[in-house]
């Protein structure tokens, strides 16, 4: 399997060469040259596989330059009951006939990002060891992604994590989750500023190519291809758990932000998984819902982006969206370049009336938008009717799923986080404190370790330089640059 850029300007590369990044040198996103086809006989063979074995079967189609036995061992070490709470890894829980939750948030940071990120940690460690190189991951977080990255990379050989977070602006639970890590390769940097300022610091360093190269700086953001690939697995798992035969179909409802999760569903469908609908659920930040309904893609400015009670879906532009548009454009990079230059020029593009609009219905997408009131009402109704507590993001998914159910087609809503992470909204909806999973009681009182820092690029560079080995400036970094 070779990887290409959605904009056509990249030499075909192998999986291990694009593993760290996602952004192609021409500004496009890295995509596989084709989607492997999974026929009915293969589906039948996969149906009874445990999660780790299923992950191996799917990932080996994409990671063709990793030796099979090594990839299998990495999957088996990652997808364990120890890390994900059960042998099922992503158990399916029925709410009522035809409606179920696929629980993706039983990993160490209680959000679905762990499913892919834990594997990414194992892959990075393995490939770095093979190459004899090291990697310093630099990132900014307002909560979920940063902690998932830290828990995936903690204690791994050849990897250090420098994670910026806005001092005093995360929930006590999120703060404790990150700052209580004692691993020597994790550096929490509490910036005296807001999240955007943390992100600006990361961008400033990413733009300093010399510094970046000398200190082997990389990122783990949502456009990382391996994360998308690892997410394909649980769509298959959910299908098998909800059906008895491969002649049936299912639909998925996906609480969406950067379009990473639902993109994996789109790819599973393209591979041949019998998916009827892929329901994209947004919150008040409804860029994706607007696109699917109207064909108009209009990313919002930071000022137009709402801060909502499902904060992990508060995005202004959907960073993985270009990969889907590439497929919609029949994989024509010239057309993607055309659309993205319109986007740059006009701040939006519109595919209505074009060939892309004609292809959209065949992709099976449906969409909807959920507001704070919807989320609260849904949380409450699900709790009353089924005795099940869901988090605000999953509530958005369930709210939108309701409008798109079909008789005879099970609707599977992806549970993207646990309610314990969003206690204030749970209290508002049903007046109780969400239960903490075992092992998370009292994490707020553990000792915390972090470095406080002003918004100052030079200070940050010094901090990183003091803690990393500088390569001679002539060494060419094997890792691709990433934004
Ligand atoms: C990241 C996240 C999402 C959004 O997923 P995307 O892949 O960005 O669409 C939804 N819910 C939760 C809890 C998340 O952490």
Q: What is the pLDDT of residues 319-354, one digit of tens each?
A: 899 999 999 999 999 999 999 999 999 999 999 999
SS3 465: helix
Q: How confident is the model at residue 470 (pLDDT cuts 50, 70, 90)?
A: confident
Phi and psi at 394, nearest 5°, equal -65, -35
Q: Which atom of ligand 1 is nearest to the CA of 259?
A: 9
140 close to 222: Cβ distance less than 8 angstroms: no
pLDDT recorded at residue 303:
84
What is the sign of the dihedral through the CA atoms of 111, 115, 117 and 118?
positive
For the chain, the first-to-last Cα distance in angstroms comes to 24
- Residue 466: CB partners within 8 Å, gap ≥ 6? none
**Best CA proximity match to 25, nearest among 49, 6, 48, 40:** 6
How far is the C-alpha of 35 from the C-alpha of 38, rounded, in Å? 9
Whether 116 contacts 58, CB under 8 Å: no
Mean pLDDT of 290-311: 92
Torsions phi, psi of 2, nearest 5?
-110, 155
Residue 261 CA, ligand 1 centroid: distance in Å? 7
Best residue for ligand 1 mutational test, from 266, 285, 391, 393 (most atoms within 8 Å of Cβ): 393
Q: Which tokens sit at 87?
A: 């042998």
Q: 73-122: per-residue pLDDT in tens? A: 999 999 999 999 999 999 999 999 999 999 999 999 999 999 999 999 99
* Cα 188 to ligand 1 centre (Å): 22
Closest atom of ligand 1 to 231 CA is 7
Q: How far is the CA of 255 from the centre of ligand 1 (A)?
A: 7
CA distance 335 to 341: 10
Which residue's CA is minimally distant from atom 14 of ligand 1?
Answer: 312
What is the helix (H) or strand (E) element at residue 103, kind and residue range?
Answer: strand 99-103
> Considering only CA atoms, which residue is closest to atom 15 of ligand 1?
312
Whose Cα sits closest to atom 2 in ligand 1? 312
What is the Å distance from ligand 1's center to 415 Cα? 10
By annotation, the residues acting in catalysis are 113
228 Cα: distance to centroid of ligand 1 (angstroms): 12
Look at 29-38, 149-158, 188-197, 452-461 and tell me which has the smallest mean pLDDT.
Answer: 188-197
- Cα-based angle 401, 406, 410 (whole degrees, multiple of 5): 75
Residue ID of nearest Cα to ligand 1 atom 8: 258
Of 443, 475, 428, the C-alpha closest to 209 is 475
Closest atom of ligand 1 to CA, residue 255: 10
pLDDT band at 469; cut points 50, 70, 90: confident
Token pair of 427 as six digits: 């209290």
To test the pocket of ligand 1, the residue of 112, 370, 420 to mutate (highest count of ligand atoms within 8 Å of its CB) is 112
pTM here?
0.94
237 has a pLDDT exceeding 70: yes
The ligand 1 site (C-beta within 6 Å) comprises 111, 113, 144, 222, 255-261, 312-313, 393, 416-417
Task: Report the distance separating Cα 30 and Cα 13, nearest Å.
Answer: 9
89-110+225-430 — its CATH code? Answer: 3.40.50.1100
Give residue limits of the domains in the chain: 89-110+225-430
Give the separation between CA 103 and CA 112, rounded to whole angstroms.
Answer: 8
What are 2-19's pLDDT values in tens digits? Answer: 999 999 999 999 999 999
From residue 10, alpha-carbon distances to 13, 17, 33, 326, 356 in Å are 8, 12, 12, 15, 24
């Amino acid at each position: 399997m070779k990887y290409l850029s959605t904009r056509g300007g990249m030499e075909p590369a192998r999986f291990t060469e694009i593993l760290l990044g996602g952004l192609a040198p021409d500004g496009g996103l890295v995509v596989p040259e084709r989607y492997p086809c999974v026929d009915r006989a293969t589906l039948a063979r996969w149906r009874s596989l445990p999660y780790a074995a299923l992950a191996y079967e799917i990932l080996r189609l994409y990671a063709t330059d990793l030796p099979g036995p090594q990839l299998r061992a990495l999957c088996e070490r990652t997808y364990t009951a120890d890390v994900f709470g059960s042998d099922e890894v992503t158990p399916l829980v029925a709410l009522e006939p035809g409606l179920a939750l696929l629980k993706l948030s039983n990993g160490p940071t209680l959000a679905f990002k762990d499913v892919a990120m834990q594997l990414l940690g194992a892959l990075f460690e393995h490939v770095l060891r093979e190459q004899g190189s090291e990697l310093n991951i630099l990132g900014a977080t307002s909560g979920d992604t940063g902690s998932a990255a830290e828990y995936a990379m903690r204690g791994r050989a050849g990897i250090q994590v420098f994670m910026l977070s806005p001092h005093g602006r995360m929930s006590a639970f999120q703060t404790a989750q990150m700052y209580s890590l004692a691993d020597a390769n994790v550096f929490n940097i509490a910036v005296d500023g807001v999240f955007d300022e943390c992100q600006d610091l990361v961008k400033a360093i990413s733009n300093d190519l010399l510094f970046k190269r000398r200190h082997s700086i990389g990122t783990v953001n949502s456009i990382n291809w391996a994360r998308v690939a690892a997410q394909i697995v649980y769509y298959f798992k959910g299908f098998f758990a909800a059906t008895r035969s491969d002649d049936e179909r299912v639909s998925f409802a996906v609480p969406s932000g950067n379009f990473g999760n639902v993109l994996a569903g789109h790819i599973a469908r393209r591979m041949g998984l019998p998916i009827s609908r892929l329901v994209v659920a947004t919150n008040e930040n409804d860029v994706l819902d607007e696109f699917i309904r109207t064909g108009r893609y209009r990313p919002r400015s930071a000022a137009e982006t709402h801060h909502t009670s499902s904060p992990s879906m508060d995005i202004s532009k959907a960073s993985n969206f270009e990969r889907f548009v590439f497929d919609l454009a029949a994989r024509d990079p010239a057309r993607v370049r055309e659309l993205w230059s319109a986007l740059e020029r006009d701040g939006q593009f519109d595919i209505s009336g074009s060939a892309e609009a004609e292809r959209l219905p065949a992709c099976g997408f449906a969409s909807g938008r959920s507001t704070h009131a919807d989320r609260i009402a849904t949380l409450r109704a699900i709790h009353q009717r089924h005795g099940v507590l869901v988090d605000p993001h999953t509530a958005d998914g369930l709210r939108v799923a309701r409008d798109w159910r079909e008789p005879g087609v099970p609707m599977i809503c992806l549970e993207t986080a646990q309610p314990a992470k969003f206690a204030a909204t749970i209290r508002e909806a049903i007046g109780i404190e969400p239960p903490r999973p075992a092992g998370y009681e009292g994490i707020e009182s553990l000792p915390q370790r972090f470095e406080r820092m002003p918004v100052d690029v030079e200070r940050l560079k010094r901090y990183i330089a003091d803690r990393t080995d500088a390569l001679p400036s002539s060494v060419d970094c094997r890792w691709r640059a990433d934004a």
